[in-house]
Amino acid sequence: MGRLTDKTALVTGSSRGIGRATAVRLAREGALVAVHYATGAEQAEETVETIEKEGGRAFAVQAELGMPGDAHQLFLGLERGLKERTGETRLDILVNNAGVMGGIAPEEVTPEQFDRLMAVNARAPFFVLQRALKNIPDGGRVINVSSGLTRFANPQEVAYAMTKGAVEQLALHYAKHLGPRRITVNSVAPGITDNGSAVFDIPEAVRQMAGLSAFNRVGETGDVADVITFLATDEARWITGAFIDATGGTLLG
Ligand code: NDP
C-alpha cells in the first residue's frame, strides 16, 4: 500500500518538468492526482497516461494562472474531476508548482514583465491556496515551489526571485494559521533542474550549471519531486513553515 492511498492531490503546472515528476510520484504512492496545465493539453494527457500505465489514477485540469478568475476556473475543473471519481471534492494535497522564469537584465525588466511574473508566480499561489482551503481537510498538505534564487544572487533573475520570496511568505504565515488544523505548509526550493528545455542539450552549459551543485551535476526533476512527495506524506507531519533546500548543495557556496 502506498503512503498516499485514498488521498487526492492537485499539482499546478504538471504537464511537464518538476510538476509532471511530482504528479507521477504522488500517484505512485496511491494519490488520485489532478494534473493541471495552461496550454500543454497533450503534455498533460501524457502525464495522465504515464500515471495510468503504472496503475495510478489521474485526470487533467486546464486553467491559465495569472488571469482574473484563474483560481475559480481551476477549481471548477478540479471539483468536477474529483466528484466524478470520488463522489466528493476533498483535496488533501496542494502543490503550487506552476511558474514562469525571468532571465531579464535588471535594467530591462518592464512593468508588464514584472506584473506577469508576480501574477503567475506569487498572486496565483496565494489565491489558489485561499480557494483550496474550502476543500482541504484537517491534516492536509500544502507545498509551494520556490527557488534557490531567494538565497543565491543572480541579477538576471531579480524580478523572478522577488516572486519566489513572496511565495516563501505563504509558508511562514499560513503554517501558523493552519497549525491548529494540522495542515502543514512548506516551501521547496529547487536549484538548477533539467526540465527538458533547450539549454540542457548544450553540454558546455550543463557542465557550468553542474558546477554550482555540491554533487557536480544538474538536478533531475525526480530529485525535487521526491522531496515534495515526502512533505505530502504522514512522515512529514512535524515539518511546517519550513524552507527546504532542494538545490543539491548549491546554497553551500
Ligand atoms: P517548466 O517550465 O518545465 O513547466 C512549467 C509548468 O507550469 C508547465 O506545466 C506549465 O503549463 C505551467 N505554467 C506556466 N505558466 C502557467 C500559467 N500562466 N498558468 C498555468 N500554468 C502555467 O517548469 P519547471 O519544472 O522548470 O519549474 C517548476 C517550478 O519550479 C516553477 O515554479 C519554477 O519557478 C521552479 N523552479 C525551477 C527550477 C529549474 O531549474 N527548472 C529552479 C528553481 C525553481 P503549460 O506548459 O501547460 O502551459
- pLDDT band at residue 152, thresholds of 50, 70 and 90? very high
Residue with cell 482574473: 68
32, 44 contact by CB (below 8 A):
no
Q: Measured between alpha carbons, how far is 228 from 144 in angstroms, rounded to an integer?
A: 9
Extents of the domains making up the chain = 8-252
142, 228 contact by CB (below 8 A):
no
Question: Looking at the predicted structure, is the pLDDT value of residue 42 above 90?
Answer: yes
243, 187 contact by CB (below 8 A):
yes
pLDDT tens digits, one per residue of 215-238: 999 999 999 999 999 999 999 999
What interface predicted TM-score (ipTM) does this complex get?
0.99
What percent of the chain stands above pLDDT 90? 98
Question: Looking at the predicted structure, is the pLDDT value of residue 1 above 90?
Answer: no
Closest by Cα among 96, 15, 9 to 57: 9
Which CATH class, in words, describes the domain spanning 8-252? alpha beta
pLDDT tens digits, one per residue of 109-147: 999 999 999 999 999 999 999 999 999 999 999 999 999
Q: Measured between alpha carbons, how far is 51 from 59 in angstroms, rounded to an integer?
A: 9
Q: Can you give the pLDDT at residue 102?
A: 87
Q: What is the mean pLDDT of the chain?
A: 98
List ligand 1's pocket residues with C-beta within 6 A. 13-19, 37-40, 64-66, 97-100, 120, 145, 147, 190, 192-193, 195
From the list 160, 162, 170, 191, the catalytic residue is 160
